[in-house]
Amino acid sequence: MLSEVIEFNNRYGLLDGCGSVIVGLSGGADSVALFHVLRELRSRYGFSIIAVHVHHGIRGEEADRDLDFCRNLCRRYGVELREFFYDIPKLAKELSLSPEEAGRKVRYDSFRSVASEYENSRIAVAHHGNDRAETVIFNMTRGTGMKGLRGIVPMRDNIIRPLLCVTKADILGYLDEIHQDYCLDSTNESNDYSRNRIRNVILPELAKINSSAVSNICSMADKMMELNDFVENYIDDMYDKCAVEDERGILLKRPDNACAYIVKGMIIKAISNLKGTLKDITDNHISEICEMFDKRNGRRIDIKYGITVEKEEKGIFFLKDSDITYNEYEVEVPSKLILPDGNFMEFKKILWNKGQKISNEVCTKFFDYDRIKDRLLVRNRRKDDYLVVNSAGNRKKLNRYFIDCKIPEHIRDSIFLLADGDHIMWVPGGRISEEYKITEDTKNVLCVECGGSEWKE
């Protein structure tokens, strides 16, 4: 078995450059075998071993027995043992987790705590081939894709699984060969949990069909791991080409000639980048978002974690959660207003001469100053905003104007408008209201110039 583990390590570099290995030691067969394998390998790879035992505060005398066993084992072989004690039932209730989830959390928290004390450390856990096959089957029953069909992987971050290449039978044979006893966990014999039923019922039945069932499932998982790595690298490349991230969220452009699987992978990456989690995000959510590429502009859907997705002309936009801040500034003339986004608006009053040429600069606009009836404001939009769109005085709601101009909904609240009360004089980058346009009767003109390093027309 040792030669298989060495070959497995060389293939995946599990122990390369490792200074210390933090080994999870429960006292069960798997962790005891891992303990001895690492002892055999430490001189070859030049690392030290620190064992960690986590007492969960359940299983009573049986758990105390496991702790004593680990103490004696480490004392016998001169390995440092770190001990952690938790009240898992209480912690599970406080964290709203199942006892299994809470137990897993504290184990890895304990491992990481010790690992943080050492440079170039790895955390070694005792998952083996049967565990990997069990995980593949478990994922299949819940619904999964390529990633789930990998099962447990040899290395994730600084967590390594040196025994993933061997089966439970190999481990028991190894312990028998070196005359090493171990502890039995009575809860593993119960079929009340899904994983235990797979372990104790389904895998033995599969072995009756093919004695190499576990090895064959693991071989398939290896192939899925290689394929998944290739596809994820491709998705990453496509995402880098098609995604634009900014402070508001992520714009995802539709890639040319990409199949639905790749597009869905890009959507998953966008959600993960935006929220840091994919928990409770289902295939139905991803499919619904994927269909947004073919919807009309302005269509929006809301999914988990407050994620809003909006169809735009250029693609689909994933909006970040944000508390919209309403800004309003009363303008004095002359003055220069610096906006929160770094842009500026400069205001001047000038005497207008008939026949004077009107500037064609897109960032400079002229208004009939004497038609301003209310306070002159620079502000974000409000509910009753409108513009006058023709010489007959017909009005158009600002929201309708935004829709007609295909202005993405997620930026509408952040646009700074020039307003006379509820009357929008100018949407910077867009039109001005007909009511304020210069005529032959105009005497005084308000000149407004926009600019700044962040100004975008």
pLDDT digits (tens, 9 = 90+) for 360-396: 776 889 999 999 998 899 998 988 899 999 988 899 9
Residue 409 pLDDT level (bands cut at 50, 70, 90): confident
- On whether both 315 and 337 belong to a single domain, the answer is no
Residues 314 and 167 reside in one and the same domain: no
pLDDT band at 455 (very low <50, low <70, confident <90, very high): very low
Q: Decide if pLDDT at 224 tops 50.
A: yes
Q: Report the CATH number that the domain containing residue 310 is assigned in CATH.
A: 3.30.465
Q: How many domains does the chain have?
A: 3
% pLDDT > 90, the chain: 60
pLDDT of 29 over the 50 cut: yes
56 and 200 both lie in a single domain: yes
**pTM for the complete prediction?**
0.68
Clarify whether residues 90 and 217 are in a common domain: yes
Q: Is the same domain home to 121 and 140?
A: yes
Fill in the amino acid letter for 189.
E
Asked if residue 49 is part of any domain, the answer here is: yes
Q: Examine the domain organization and report whether 134 and 194 are in the same domain.
A: yes
Domain boundary among 271, 286, 319: 319
297 or 46, greater pLDDT: 46
Would 414 be classed as within a structural domain?
yes
Are 332 and 386 part of one and the same domain? yes
Predicted confidence (pLDDT) per residue in 141-173, tens digit: 988 889 999 999 999 999 999 999 999 999 999
Extract the tokens encoding 276: 């840091």
Residue 337 counted as domain residue: yes
Q: Are 396 and 283 in a shared domain?
A: no
Tell me if 429 sits within 8 A of 360, measured CB to CB: no
Specify whether 288 is located in the same domain as 199: no
Residue 21 lies in a domain: yes
Query: Is 245 part of a structural domain of the chain?
Result: no
Q: Which residue has the tokens 């269909």?
A: 291
Task: Output the six-digit token pair for 233.
Answer: 């690298």
In a domain, 232, yes or no: no
Assess whether 151 and 275 both reside in one domain: no
Q: What pLDDT score does 334 carry?
A: 92
Residues 370 and 388 in one domain: yes
Say if residue 52 is in the same domain as residue 79: yes
Q: Is residue 242 part of a domain?
A: no
Specify the CATH number for the domain of residue 67.
Answer: 3.40.50.620
Domain that holds residue 412: 328-451
Predicted local distance difference test score (pLDDT) of residue 323: 53
- Boundary-marking domain end, from 319, 342, 368: 319
Rounded-to-integer distance, Cα 442 and Cα 439, Å: 5
> Whole-angstrom Cα distance, residue 129 to residue 215?
7
Q: Which two tokens stand for residue 56?
A: 């969960």
In tens, the pLDDT along 262-296 reads 999 999 999 888 877 787 788 888 888 898 888 88
Confidence of residue 11 (pLDDT cuts 50, 70, 90): very high
Q: Is 365 within 8 Å of 448 (Cβ atoms)?
A: yes
Three-state secondary structure string covering the chain: CHHHHHHHHHHHCCCCCCCEEEEECCCEHHHHHHHHHHHHHHHHHCCEEEEEEEECCCCHHHHHHHHHHHHHHHHHHCCEEEEEECCHHHHHHHHCCCHHHHHHHHHHHHHHHHHCCCCCEEEECCCCHHHHHHHHHHHHHHCCCHHHHCCCCCEECCEECCCCCCCHHHHHHHHHHCCCCCECCHHHHCCCCHHHHHHHHHHHHHHHHCCCHHHHHHHHHHHHHHHHHHHHHHHHHHHHHHEEEECCEEEECCCCCCCHHHHHHHHHHHHHHHHCCCCCCCHHHHHHHHHHHHCCCCCEEECHHHCEEEECCCCEEEECCCCCCCCEEECCCCEEEECCCCCEEEEEEEECCCCCCCCCCCCEEEEEHHHCCCCEEEECCCCCCEEECCCCCCEEEHHHHHHHCCCCHHHHCCCCEEEECCEEEECCCCCECHHHCCCCCCCEEEEEEEECCCCCC
Residue 278, strand partner residues? none
In a domain, 198, yes or no: yes
